[in-house]
Amino acid sequence: MVPLFIAITGGEGMRGSTNHPCFSLPTYSAYLCSMIYPWGTKRRFNAYVNYLRQKFGHRIQKVAVDAGFTCPNRDGSVGFGGCTYCNNDAFNPSYCNASVSISKQIEEGIKFQKIRYKNAVSFFAYFQAYSNTYDKLENLKSIYHEALSFKEITGLVIGTRPDAVDAEKLDYLAELAEDYYISVEYGIESCYDRTLKRINRGHDFNTTANAIRETANRGLPVGGHLIFGLPGESKKQMLDEAAVLSELPITTLKLHQLQLFRNTTMGKEYLLNPDDFLLFDYDEYKDFVIDFLELLSPEIKIERLAGEAPPKYILGGQWDIRNDQILDGIEHRMEERNTWQGKKFRLPAN
Ligand code: SF4
């Protein structure tokens, strides 16, 4: 596969298209006139932030909202105790607080983001904490509409579990998507059922794959979240997940090294048996995540390449480096290796 070519716009529809110059040319030396990758930028991976800028013409920032949902893997309808690594306090920004109204959280969130990113003009409400489709449809409608009543909120990103959606909810979201950008983000975490069982996810990978397909079939962008380093998985097994996920209609992916949080079942397991865990150091992770990107479809937009949480929650698996520096380091390493997302991606044989 070749990295660079003369004039490509966007990147939509590349997957499966063997006519695309990225997939069909045997060498790229004649095509080095421009350092533009198939996704239309000079970055060596298909960055979601750039995709949004291309799509909407300006930067879009997310405003996280905690709408007070719970999770079927905590309240007993699927399981108790939750996923063994889960500590929602560690994931949630400080301005998010379910005891405060959605409107107030959005006002605060927009204010916060406008200070951080002076050129941010529109925002997506990000329903992040717990399972944000886990309620009756009429309640969901009221919650989503409250967020969309702000003129600055032009879309929703709804984080949830693959077993917390159904046809009725997805049909409603597809209706909403006629007027707004509506994306559903699923916790995938692993493609291996034995891992999902071990971390007490309460669903198998088939459930994930079906939810992704059902969502994408309705024209909704689908996000996914994957963790590298879950107990029992080898590096080779984790790298093999790139091909599995590339075959699914995933729009965006967040990649994370395993971070162990205090007061979690997994944290306790780690303290009892640290050898059972692969906690990447930063240099090792850079090369690993680049290996993964090489195998991943160039069409999947990358929203995150590593995780970061407030240090007070962390037991292990976080480096003392800021997220922007981590990203710079990964991109710099990609340059050193002269590589790019999709370099080793192969279309599945039909
Ligand atoms: S599904 Fe999400 S919220 Fe529920 S226990 Fe697992 S990680 Fe936590």
Structure confidence by residue, pLDDT tens digits, 134-146: 999 999 999 999 9
Specify the length of the chain in residues.
350
Cα of 225 vs centre of ligand 1, distance in Å, is 12
The residue written with tokens 């109204």 in the block is: 101
Domain 43-336 has what CATH class? alpha beta
Cα of 112 vs centre of ligand 1, distance in Å, is 26
* CA dist., res. 286 & res. 306, Å (int): 9
- Ligand 1 site, residue 83, Cβ cutoff 6 A: yes
The residue whose CA is least distant from atom 6 of ligand 1 is 83
Atom of ligand 1 nearest to the CA of 130: 3
The residue whose CA is least distant from atom 5 of ligand 1 is 82
The residue whose CA is least distant from atom 4 of ligand 1 is 71
* CA dist., res. 49 & res. 56, Å (int): 11
Cα of 160 vs centre of ligand 1, distance in Å, is 8
What pTM does this model have?
A: 0.89
3-state secondary structure of 255: strand
For each of the chain's 350 residues, which pLDDT tens digit applies?
444 433 333 333 344 333 334 444 444 444 444 589 999 999 999 999 999 999 999 889 999 999 999 999 999 999 999 999 998 777 666 667 888 999 999 999 999 999 888 878 899 999 999 999 999 999 999 999 999 999 999 999 999 999 999 999 999 999 999 999 999 999 999 999 999 999 999 999 999 999 999 999 999 999 999 999 999 999 999 999 999 999 999 999 999 999 999 999 999 999 999 888 889 999 999 999 999 999 999 999 999 999 988 888 888 888 989 999 999 999 999 999 999 999 999 887 76
Give the residue extent of every domain in the chain. Answer: 1-42, 43-336
- Strand pairing report for 260-261 and 314-316: antiparallel
Q: For residue 160, what are the β-bridge partners? A: 186
- Ligand 1 site, residue 96, Cβ cutoff 6 A: no
Angle at 320 between CA 158 and CA 52, to 5 degrees: 35
- For the record, the structure tokens of 198 come out as 């071990």
- Ligand 1 site, residue 306, Cβ cutoff 6 A: no
Cβ neighbors of 29 (< 8 A, separation 6 or more) are none
Contact 102, 279 (CB under 8 A): no
Cα of 87 vs centre of ligand 1, distance in Å, is 8
- Number of Cβ within 10 Å of residue 68's Cβ equals 14
Tell me, what's the pLDDT at 350? Answer: 63
Atom of ligand 1 nearest to the CA of 82: 5
- Ligand 1 site, residue 86, Cβ cutoff 6 A: yes
Cα of 202 vs centre of ligand 1, distance in Å, is 10
